[in-house]
Structure 1
C-alpha cells in the first residue's frame, strides 16, 4: 500500500491578513477599530502578532498606501514598452495605472477621504511613506528626462520638480475621489492635461531659448 503524506497547510501571510481585515472593518463600520485588542480578537489572532508588523492602525493605512504604489510600479516595470517611453509618457502611464489600481480600493478610500478631503497643507501621517516612495520613483523619471533634454535643467527649480509632481499626484487623487463621470473619463482628462502642462513647464521654453541666445550674444562680444 502506497504511503501518503499529509500536505502542510499553506503559510498565512499575517501582515496581508491584517491589512485586508482592516480594510474590511473600515468598509463595514466606517471608522477604525476601537482597539488593537478587539480587532485581533475578532481575527482570532494574538495581539502580539499585530504589533510584530504594525505599531498602530495609522501604520496599517500607511502600508496599504505603499502597497498600492508597489503594485502600480510592478505593473509598469513588467511592460517592456514602458521602458521605451519618454519621461512624459512614463508619468502618464504611471497615473493611468495607479488609477486602475486605486479602483480596487475605491470604497475603502471613499470611506476615509470621500467626505473629508485630504488637507492641502498638512500631509496625513499615513501618506508619508507613499510620498517618500513615490518621490524616489519620480526622481529617476525626471533625471532620465534631463539627460535627454526633455526636461530643462534650471538652477534652484530643478530640485523642486519632484515636489511639484507630488502635488500633482494629490491633485489627481482628490479629483478622482470626487469624479462621478462614466469610467472616470474626467479623471483621465485631468491626468492628460495636468501632465502635459507639467512637462511643457519643465521643458525648454521660449524664455529659456531667449536666455540662451542672450548668453550667446554676451559671450560673443
Structure 2
C-alpha cells in the first residue's frame, strides 16, 4: 500500500493507524501547494480532489477520505481491535465519533488556516471549537479513549486534529482531561514513530 501524506495534515491519522497495525506501506509525501509528490509527479492523477490522505491499494485502487481509510485499515487486521466488528452497535458508535470529529472539529479548524479570514471570523471559530472541546472533555474524564479503554481509529483522528490547536494559541489545558488524553496518545510507540517520520519529512522539504 501507498499512503499519500503531507506533514502535519489530517493524513497523520491513517499514518498512525498503519503503524499501530504494523501493516507494510510506503509513505509518499505530497506538496499540497503544487499538488505534486516528492518525485515531481502530479498528485491529482492519484486523487483528483488534490488533497490528502489517499491510500493506494496493492490492486491499484485508490481510497480517499480519512474516516473511510482508517476503517478500511482497521478491517485488514480486526484482531488489533482498532475498530469494532462491522454491523455491531460499537461500530456505529465509532462511526458516530468519526463523523463528529470530521464535521465538528476538523472542519471548524479550516477557517483558521485561511489568512484571508478576519480576526472576527477566527474568534468565532475558536468559540465553536471550545464548545466542542467542552463536550468531549467529560467523556475523557471517565475513560482513557473515546470508545472506552481501547485505543481506536477515532482516537488517531482526534489526536491529529487536536494537534492543530497549538498553531492558533488554543491552550488545551483549559480542558485537563483533553490535555491528559493528548499526552497519553502521544506516548504510544506507533504515534511517536509517525510523528518523528513526519517531522523529518517536513525538515527535508
TM band (smaller chain) = under 0.3
Compute the TM-score of the two structures, normalised by the length of structure 1: 0.25
Compute the TM-score of the two structures, normalised by the length of structure 2: 0.27
More strand by share: 2
User: For the pair shown, which has the larger CA radius of gyration, 1 or 2?
Assistant: 1
